[in-house]
Amino acid sequence: MSNKMWGGRFASGPDAIMEAINVSIDVDRHLYAQDIAASKAHASMLAQQGIITDDDARKIAHGLDTILSEIDNGDFSFDRSLEDIHMNVESRLSALIGPAAGRLHTARSRNDQVATDFRLWMRDTIDSLDGALADYQTALAERALEHADTVMPGLTHLQTAQPVTFGHHLLAYVEMAARDRGRFADARKRLNESPLGAAALAGTSFPVDRDMTAKALGFDRPMANSLDAVSDRDFVMETLAAATIASVHLSRLAEEIVIWTSPLVGLVSLSEKFTTGSSIMPQKRNPDAAELVRAKAGRIAGALNAIIMVMKGLPLAYQKDMQEDKEGAMDALSALSLCLAAMTGMVRDITPDVARMKKAAGEGYATATDLADWLVRTLKMPFRDAHHVTGRIVSAASARNLPLHRLPLEDMRAVEPRITEEVFGVLSATNSVRSRTSYGGTAPRNVRTQAKRWLKRLGKDTP
């Protein structure tokens, strides 16, 4: 049997393989709510413009509402031979309301229809990701406030560098998430134009009111070029680029959690809520959720790469290649949403080992820079000379296997005779972080201010 929607010039049905490669209902069924909303807007515009009768528009709207609740309630049977969501909905509409259903597709094509539906879907998805990012930021900022004074080793090259606070470290991820939200907001702003009424590619001879449908669907305006409207998927690429960057950010904290929770490091622990056991090694508590967040960044970046490859070199206007825009995007954005939920959960769940962090912050000569800064400030030494002197003191301490603050004063004086007792004031990790009061620095006072500023911006009351 030929296709009931477009089979007019076809004598027979497609090969099974043709149907298998062509069908998209398993993916685009997720657009049903947007498809129905766009059809309702289109039908009421057609009626207002006198293109269809008010009576037909009413029947159409009523039928579409019925279909919406059928799908919502799981009472709708999707038919693969009808290819996609658009034809599944229209076919059901015709079963429900008869010939009036056939008027809905006046002055539109599946090309502007799918572009409209997918923009609406993307907009909804961005809004929900934005909420998830805000929740993640809130969890981070709350824990940052709680740990504004918790000293930990700051690392560069994964080597002990200078002491920082755990709160400061967490707030770094709040900033990243803020830029992620900004990227999604930018993408949203650019994608929020309506393709509806571009029809197949050239526009339509019917007196449509594209402003009306754009407004009804919450778009800022109709897209100005019909060819562009049906044939660009930059909004998919842009949103996936934002998602990729966000997931890369998440993967970095995920990786830190993996490192920190390793018994070799032991700076933090996760509860049983966010760990799993091993089927063979009874002692294990594995940070699987963090590992999977780390891995899913690969999948999300893969989806970005895939749509870029699909679009590269595609001539205008619609090409069926573009049907491949949805599966990877939907998969990637739902993976991101799951990653955000998992990271938010882990941030709330995590328990830093405050004593161990403090000890680790004092090891590895993390306050060597503080000593050099003291020589500069107190003895007016040029920083380069102070760096050299400090290096010699560090090697004296290391030869005696002592941390800097335990090295006797005379050993320091053997290197630089002008050093006084007062130097010990800057050699502890706690005093080191306290002194980092420059804007953006790790001092507990700064961290408290920033954490509170974020919580306020995120709509949370703070003590």
111 binds ligand ARG (CB under 6 A): yes
Of residues 206-235, those binding ligand ARG (CB under 6 A): none
442 binds ligand ARG (CB under 6 A): no
Annotated catalytic, 157?
Answer: yes
Q: Is residue 32 within 8 Å of 68, Cβ to Cβ? A: yes
In eight-state DSSP terms, residue 408 is: -
Question: By C-beta, is 28 or 349 nearer to ligand ARG?
Answer: 28
Task: Report CA torsion sign: 80, 81, 86, 92.
Answer: negative
Instruction: Give the residue with the Cβ less far from ligand ARG, 84 or 135.
Output: 84
Residues in contact with ligand ARG, shown as a per-residue x/- string from 91 to 110 under the rule CB under 6 A: -------------------x
Site membership for ligand ARG, residue 296 (CB under 6 A): no
Beta bridge mates, 155: 160
Judge whether 112 and 199 are in contact, CB under 8 Å.
yes
From 50-58, 218-226, 287-295, 317-325, give the range in contact with ligand ARG by CB under 6 A. 317-325
Closest distance of CB 24 from ligand ARG, Å = 4
* Count of residues touching ligand ARG (by CB under 6 A): 10
Tell which one of 44, 194, 231, 323 touches ligand ARG (CB under 6 A).
323
- Tokens 């923009």 map to which residue? 119
- In sign, the C-alpha dihedral spanning 415, 420, 424, 426 is negative
We find the least distance from the C-beta atom of residue 198 to ligand ARG, in angstroms, to be 12
Phi and psi at residue 435, to the nearest 5°: -80, -10
As measured in angstroms, the least distance from the Cβ of 127 to ligand ARG is 22
**In the window 46-85, what residues touch ligand ARG (CB under 6 A)?**
84
**In sequence order, what are the residues at sequence separation of 6 or more whose Cβ sits closer than 8 angstroms to the Cβ of residue 401?**
none
| Beta pairing, strands 221-222 & 193-194 | parallel
Distance between CA 427 and CA 21 in Å, rounded? 68
Our CB check for ligand ARG shows the closer of 30 and 294 to be 30
Contact 371, 427 (CB under 8 A): yes
306 neighbors 241 (Cβ within 8 angstroms): no
Of 87, 42, 66, 29, nearest to 217 by C-alpha is 42
Helix H or strand E segment including 249: helix 234-261
CB atoms within 10 A of CB 190: 12
Q: Which is nearer to ligand ARG, 79 or 353 (CB)?
A: 79
**Residue 332 interacting with ligand ARG (CB under 6 A):** no
Asked if 318 is part of the footprint of ligand ARG (rule: CB under 6 A), the reply reads yes
Which is nearer to ligand ARG, 28 or 135 (by Cβ)? 28
User: x/- site string to ligand ARG, residues 112 to 131, per CB under 6 A?
Assistant: --x-----------------
In whole angstroms, the minimum distance from the beta carbon of 83 to ligand ARG comes to 6
What does the block give as tokens for 74? 């799981």
CB of 56 to ligand ARG, least distance (A): 24
Site track 22-41 with ligand ARG (rule: CB under 6 A), x = hit: --x---x-------------
| Least CB distance to ligand ARG at residue 270 (A) | 41
223 contacts: CB under 8 Å, gap ≥ 6: 193, 194, 195, 198, 229
Catalytically annotated residue among 69, 128, 271, 278: 278
Residue 307 as a binder of ligand ARG (CB under 6 A): the answer is no
- DSSP for 149-181, please give it: T-EEEEEETTEEEEEEEHHHHHHHHHHHHHHHH
Helix (H) or strand (E) holding 193: strand 193-194
Q: Is 247 a catalytic residue?
A: no
Q: Closest CB to ligand ARG among 226 and 369?
A: 226
Active-site positions?
A: 157, 278
Contacts with ligand ARG by CB under 6 A lie at 24, 28, 84, 110-111, 114, 318, 320, 322-323
